[in-house]
A = this chain, B = another copy of it.
């Protein structure tokens, strides 16, 4: 299991390939990559703030919960903070399992929890000014699925 919280860009494809060399009892790997979407008016920058003392621990807790619920050979979480532009990769989750159902469910679960329970906040700046991205009721509702 690896959790990385970093400012620097990372190469999602290279991470996926490295993660895929995870052993010969793994039949499937699911990855999710989150990208900065452009917004109406044109995004100048997305700034991601986080709570350093809490972030890695909160993510590790979410990963532990996933490992308790599903049979996982390995889990990877990378999440960036700082300034990003439209199209850049914000974060990535990958899960490796013997069977695909576990890998899919765990990746989906991890994303739902990272979205609403890991201490990151996004601020978008466009030509019209800056605004904090608001959490959505549907993101909180998504947690009830699990």
A interface residues (Cβ-Cβ under 8 A, vs B): 11-17, 20-21, 24-35, 37-38, 86-87, 89, 98, 100-101, 103-104, 107-108, 111, 142
Q: Chain B residues near A89 (CB, 8 Å)?
A: 20
A32 contacts B35, C-beta separation under 8 Å: no
Residue pair B98, A108 in contact (C-beta under 8 Å): no
Identify the 8 closest CB pairs spanning chains A and B, nearest first.
Answer: A13-B13, A13-B17, A24-B38, A29-B33, A31-B31, A27-B37, A13-B16, A24-B86
Determine whether the beta carbon of B33 is less than 8 Å from that of A20.
yes
Q: Knowing A13-B17, A89-B20 are in contact, say whether A32-B25 is a contact too (CB < 8 A).
A: no
A16 surroundings in chain B (CB, below 8 A)? 12-13, 16, 31, 33
CB <8 Å contact, A100 and B38: no
Give the Cβ gap from A37 to chain B, nearest Cβ, in Å.
5
What's the nearest-Cβ distance from chain B to residue A94, in Å?
Answer: 9
Does A11 contact B20, Cβ atoms closer than 8 Å?
A: no
Q: Report chain B residues within 8 Å CB of A33.
A: 16, 20, 28-29, 31
